[in-house]
Structure 1
Amino acid sequence: MSVLLSSDTGGVRTLTLNRPHRKNAIDPELWSALRDALTRAADDEVRALVLTGAEGAFCSGADLKAVDTRHPLDKLRALNEVTLLLHELPIPTIAKVDGVAVGAGWNLALGCDLVVATPRSRFAQIFTRRGLSPDCGGTWLLPRLAGPQQAKRLALLADMIDAEEARSLNLVTWVVPGERIDTYVTDLADRLAAGPPVALAQTKALLDEGTGRTLREALTGEARAQAVNFATTDVPEAYAAFAEKREPRFTGRWYRPSEDSSCAKQ
């Protein structure tokens, strides 16, 4: 059985970590499968991505029992590649968390744009309990989301926290009943997949870059992004849909004023 399941519904791709006997702990095979799947998601016509785990757990972190003879630096390069691929995807990403998300597993969830959890979800930066320090972007993500003091508390003490506390710290976007999470995430992903893909990609990039920019730099970036947006058919389609009182049909295609224009390109 595959350690990573992939399924498409409309423009939404769902990746399911599938090692339930280890609470979906990630071994070298699963890291490799994630790398390949995230690379394909960036190239395929996917409009939104959901990352989740099989059978009542999201991910219990890296599998420390897995046999891996590589040098630790080589192992971490593999983790870093997956982390960057997930974070830099131009499409919206959702972590659907039911059960535990600890260590690298929690940081993969935090690397998604939105996190949906259930009351039974539990989170921990488990690393110091194992004599390790955080990886998979935890030291970059936690201070930006929860602030430096809470980030230090979570990373230094490795406390296990519940979904409501995680939400209060801006580490979970929504907490929904377990029986509703599938429907909730499906509806959310469908909304994102129906959105204007170029504008969503521009917006995601601007927000990700914004914390490291001055206001002047952010305004310059916004102006450039808006110029890209106006070069798509989605802007006139949005205006037409508003006038006609209907839902817009966004495609992200490049806007061509006329098919016979000498400047028109595919």
Structure 2
Amino acid sequence: MTLLDKDGVRLTVDDAIATVTLANAAKRNAQSPAMWRALAEAGSLLPGNVRIAVLRGEGKSFSAGLDRQAFTPEGFDGEPSFIDLARGTDEALDATIAEYQEAFTWWRRTDLVSIAAVQGHAIGAGFQLALACDLRVVAPDVQFAMRETSLGLVPDLTGTHPLVGLVGYARALEICATGRFVHAEEAERIGLANLVVPGDQLDATVADLAAALTAAPRDAVIETKALLAGAAGRTYEEQRRAERAAQARRLRDLAGVGE
């Protein structure tokens, strides 16, 4: 069932699995504010029974990053240009960037697991969109790169937090500050990629992973994801308490005992 198809974003839902496809292969799925709004809308349209959100890109590239039109003086039709944004108030600039970020935030919701299927270029905003997901399955030709710093900017689409969490501060700084490519072998070795599979097996592998993730009871997966996602911000003793509280909820639920 197709729930959304506009501005280079298509959302389809098959039972508990939602697939969001970047569908502008002619432009290597380059991103724009319109695409970001469509991605945010896709997140708001997910039915309550969805447990897995798969993110994929049509064509040879997952996403080559921000559409180059963004760097022209006129920017996108009907959108404020970067120059317009820079000339606005601090409050307006902050609100606009926050709106853009909404396309990248919902993938980490605790009530679902998100998987990015990544092939070819995943550059800048494309890299950050892949990082927005919980898991990444990549093809051998994947090319991750964070080019914002090279352009005099910073990664501002929520990618810095998961990048540091996956590869550590020093390596994240080196990747961002140099803007270099991270290829499949390194991506798997340093934790950016969960799996590397042949390109023609990418969609099938993601489908198998999605099926495996839905095999466990939903509430147990939700509780486990919340425990793991919050672990870095807790002390050891705080994590122990969080584990005990989560397990108590699970035991009571399984036993049919109310709080």
TM-score higher than 0.5? yes
Q: 2:80 aligns with which of 58, 69, 77?
A: 69
Work out whether 1:35 is the aligned partner of 2:56: no
User: Pairwise mapping of residues 1-266 of structure 1 onto structure 2 (< 5 A)?
Assistant: 2=6, 3-41=8-46, 43-66=47-70, 67=76, 68-69=79-80, 71=85, 72-232=93-253, 235=254, 255=256
Q: What's the C-alpha RMSD, in Å, of the aligned pairs?
A: 2.0
SS of residue paired to 1:171:
coil
Q: Looking at CA atoms only, which structure, 1 or 2, has the larger radius of gyration?
A: 1
Structure 2 counterpart of 1:252: none
What is the CA deviation profile of residues 2-33 of structure 1, one whole-angstrom value per residue up to 9, with x for unaligned ones?
Answer: 22111222311110011212211221211111
Amino acid at match of 1:59: S
Count of equivalent residues: 237
1:187–1:35 Cα change, 3 Å: same
Any unmatched runs of 5+ in structure 2? Answer: 71-75, 86-92
Amino acid at match of 1:165: E
SS of residue paired to 1:136:
coil
CA contact (8 A) 2:138 2:184 kept: yes
SS of residue paired to 1:75:
helix
SS of residue paired to 2:115:
strand
Shift of 1:81: 2.1
Structure 2 counterpart of 1:245: none
**Cα distance in 1 for residues equivalent to 2:242 and 2:183:** 37
The alignment's TM-score, normalised by the length of structure 1, stands at 0.83
1:104–1:22 Cα change, 3 Å: same
SS of residue paired to 2:148:
helix
Shift of 1:83: 2.5
**Cα distance in 2 for residues equivalent to 1:89 and 1:217:** 19
Which 10-residue stretch deviates more, 61-70 or 131-140? 61-70
SS of residue paired to 1:6:
strand
Any unmatched runs of 5+ in structure 1? Answer: 237-254, 258-262
**Cα distance in 1 for residues equivalent to 2:124 and 2:60:** 17
**Cα distance in 2 for residues equivalent to 1:173 and 1:46:** 22
Q: Identity, % of aligned pairs?
A: 34
Amino acid at match of 2:20: L
Shift of 1:89: 4.4
Post-superposition, which runs of at least 4 consecutive aligned residues in structure 1 deviate over 4 A? none
The alignment's TM-score, normalised by the length of structure 2, stands at 0.85
**Cα distance in 1 for residues equivalent to 2:143 and 2:39:** 23
